[in-house]
Chain A
Amino acid sequence: MLNHAEASEKFIEDAERTTWHDETLWFVRSKRDKVSKLLPEWEALREQASQIKDHTLANLGQYLEEFEANAQKNGIIVHWAKDAQEHNEIVHSIISKHGGKALVKSKSMLTEECHLNDFLTKKGVEVVDTDLGERIVQFRNEVPSHIVLPAIHLKKEDVGETFHEFLGTPKGNKDPQFLTEAARQHLRGFFLGANVAITGVNFAVAETGEFVVCTNEGNADMGAHLAKVHIACMGIEKMIPKRKDLGVFLRLLARSATGQLITTYSSHFAKPREGQEMHIVLVDNGRTRQLARDEFRNSLKCIRCAACFNTCPVYRRSGGHSYHQPVAGPIGSILAPNFDKSANVDLPFASTLCGSCSNVCPVKINIHEQLWFWRQDLMKDGLAPLGKSLSMKGMAFVFSNPTIFKMAGYMGRLVMRFAPFIVNNSLNPWFKQREMPDAPKESFQSWYKNRK
């Protein structure tokens, strides 16, 4: 598997596409800025959301119990899964009870995290992703590159090709309107025929035992209201205490995500409809481990709006697939080491620590600080690549010894002036796509001493 830097290098080979990717996501970020500034209480809302989530995480056990009791009272069947494997098995056991061969699924990052599609496909169940972007990447045997805009790494030409291959649309047709209509017709058949629908959960309300699912396309509702069985999958951190808290989060979510006032559909599921079976699977999969860590706990406040993706200078120029994780971007980079430190050791380093992610986060997660905390944690565990730990040790040695520091500076200036090829070569990552600066004639120290 390529690490983030290696994968990014491939991504930016196509300079034109990289620029398009960068500018498109920045455009989404600008829309977020515009709508957020229309609300005089924007900052107060962020603070409120942050405090509600802090409070919920501090009392998570109590709220989960309350939610479970109320959901059961509403007639929802509640399941608990400690990890991805158990989650997948629970979902599969429900499906096999109903003899379903095909099911429709709307967007759920949790099911991506658990690799549910792979699991079910191996068991002979066909999963049809119904979010347009997810269906596109599913056809292409890829994974979403962005949690809100799953196919943002693709151009309309790519989608046209894919639809030509899988849906028989005319070759060369790349009109988004036409392609969307083709997908609508194609997916309607699955909606009308599916026995089982899987959805994600945006918010689960302890007070009422209901859960809220937000989409723009209407695909979650088309699936859930037509199928005999509705399975909603959620991480245990999706809990909020009261129904009135929804007002705060629904005002923040779409504005932060895409600059919309609200998603087209914000559906509140409290009870199954007549004759329907409704299940909810509550998944831990490392969340209680993260809850125990003081410096990383509040990563669990995330509401998956992806504002941090859109603003991140590294994400915009490296693409979601470079992060080799279901959740990419800055938030993904602080969640991933919790799942597997050594497999994701590169991700907390895929950042400039500029802090823009923390500034746009609607629930005020200190993302850039946590990236830095993870770097320290991973270095302490000895997981950093050899080159990085050696150069860090070397720098520590040089910086702690003034004589050597002065000598190194002198040598460096000498080398850059008379033998620049020693640093200006492909072995030096700083030289890639950059001109190295001219070496100064003297050090700051000597300039300071000799100034008149």
Chain B
Amino acid sequence: MSSRSDIFGAIKALEKREISHPGDFKSYSATKDPVGDFKNSLSIVGAMCIEVENKKKAETRLSEIYPDLQRYTSQDVVANGLDLEAVDVLEIDGMFGVAENGAIWLSDQFLPNRVAPFICQHLVIYVAKSEIVATLHEAYERLDGNYADFGLFLSGPSKTADIEQSLVIGAHGARSLTIILV
């Protein structure tokens, strides 16, 4: 406890300075076409995007894309994340998407296990077209009061450019990301 009180002591010994919080940020980059912007962002971050009328129609497309791979859905919660190591394709639901950066909010409630979207080889996320917000500000607005135990914005497949700045898709997380816009 002594280091804690040392640190707080050092801070409290400082002269009080009155600087107020600027308040919530008001974004002025409104979008007329959130779905179009979202799709554009997805292509920038290296994700594939498929538009379908309903979830059933996605089935045909997915079996074309991953003909030989076993697909796994988020129906069952997996207690041990290690069990997911062998999963080739994981299909999950995203809560909403963000037009400006192609990010999708995922949280504990939508995941079979926290490690699921990272450990699988290929990731498929369903997002409703009606659930696209313009910017991260609107995104946090939507999340107001919804404090997940764990949640993340996921934008694109995992990537690295640590070797001579050459972009390589598939670092430690999923090697590919497919977004199904319903």
Chain A positions near chain B (C-beta within 8 angstroms):
24, 27-28, 39-41, 44-45, 48, 51-52, 54-55, 58-61, 64-65, 74, 80-82, 86, 130-133, 136, 149-152, 154-156, 159, 176-177, 179-181, 184, 187-188, 191-192, 208, 210, 216-219, 221-222, 225-226, 236, 241-244, 246-248, 250-251, 258, 260-271, 273-274, 282, 284, 288-289, 291-292
How distant is the Cα of A248 from the Cα of B137 in the complex, in angstroms? 7
How distant is the Cα of A80 from the Cα of B10 in the complex, in angstroms? 13
* B36 close to A (CB within 8 Å): no
Beyond known contacts A217-B172, A266-B155: 20 more, CB 8 A cutoff: A41-B27, A44-B28, A51-B19, A54-B19, A58-B19, A61-B11, A82-B6, A132-B160, A149-B165, A159-B163, A216-B158, A221-B115, A244-B141, A246-B140, A248-B137, A250-B136, A250-B153, A262-B155, A264-B158, A284-B10
B41 to chain A, nearest CB (A): 6
How distant is the Cα of A269 from the Cα of B108 in the complex, in angstroms? 11
A254 to chain B, nearest CB (A): 8
Given A210-B147, A222-B173: A261 in contact with B41 (beta carbons within 8 A): yes
Question: Are B162 and A267 neighbours in the complex by a CB distance under 8 Å?
Answer: no
Given A191-B172, A264-B158: A40 in contact with B28 (beta carbons within 8 A): yes
Q: Contact string, B108-127, partner A, CB cutoff 8 A, digits 1/0?
A: 00000111001100000000
Question: Are A156 and B163 neighbours in the complex by a CB distance under 8 Å?
Answer: yes
**Residues of chain B with a CB closer than 8 A to A242's CB:** 21
Question: Are A156 and B118 neighbours in the complex by a CB distance under 8 Å?
Answer: no
Question: Are B81 and A226 neighbours in the complex by a CB distance under 8 Å?
Answer: yes
How distant is the Cα of A397 from the Cα of B157 in the complex, in angstroms? 63
How distant is the Cα of A266 from the Cα of B151 in the complex, in angstroms? 9
CB within 8 A of A262: which of B29, B85, B103, B150? B103
* B91 close to A (CB within 8 Å): no
Question: Are B165 and A24 neighbours in the complex by a CB distance under 8 Å?
Answer: yes
A105 to chain B, nearest CB (A): 13
* B7 close to A (CB within 8 Å): yes
Question: Are A265 and B3 neighbours in the complex by a CB distance under 8 Å?
Answer: no
Question: Are B172 and A52 neighbours in the complex by a CB distance under 8 Å?
Answer: no
Question: Are B82 and A218 neighbours in the complex by a CB distance under 8 Å?
Answer: no
* B34 close to A (CB within 8 Å): no
Given A180-B168, A221-B173, A262-B101: A273 in contact with B114 (beta carbons within 8 A): yes
Question: Are B135 and A251 neighbours in the complex by a CB distance under 8 Å?
Answer: yes
* Most chain A beta carbons < 10 A, residue from B24, B28, B118, B154: B118
- In chain B, residues 2-61, which have Cβ atoms closer than 8 Å to a Cβ of chain A? 3-4, 6-8, 10-14, 17-22, 24-25, 27-29, 41, 44-45
B86 to chain A, nearest CB (A): 11
* Most chain A beta carbons < 10 A, residue from B7, B14, B85: B7
B141 to chain A, nearest CB (A): 7
Question: Are A261 and B162 neighbours in the complex by a CB distance under 8 Å?
Answer: no
Given A151-B163, A218-B118, A288-B11: A180 in contact with B171 (beta carbons within 8 A): yes
Question: Are B170 and A60 neighbours in the complex by a CB distance under 8 Å?
Answer: no
How distant is the Cα of A288 from the Cα of B115 in the complex, in angstroms? 36
**Smallest CB gap from B165: residue in A:** A24
B87 to chain A, nearest CB (A): 13
Question: Are B45 and A268 neighbours in the complex by a CB distance under 8 Å?
Answer: no
**Smallest CB gap from A273: residue in B:** B114
**Residues of chain B with a CB closer than 8 A to A266's CB:** 103, 152-153, 155
Question: Are A217 and B159 neighbours in the complex by a CB distance under 8 Å?
Answer: yes
CB within 8 A of B162: which of A149, A177, A191? A149
A-B contact pairs, 5 of them (CB 8 A): A80-B7, A192-B85, A258-B161, A284-B7, A291-B11
**Residues of chain A with a CB closer than 8 A to B118's CB:** 218, 221-222, 225, 265
CB within 8 A of A244: which of B82, B137, B157? B137
Given A80-B3, A247-B137, A288-B10: A270 in contact with B171 (beta carbons within 8 A): no
How distant is the Cα of A342 from the Cα of B113 in the complex, in angstroms? 50
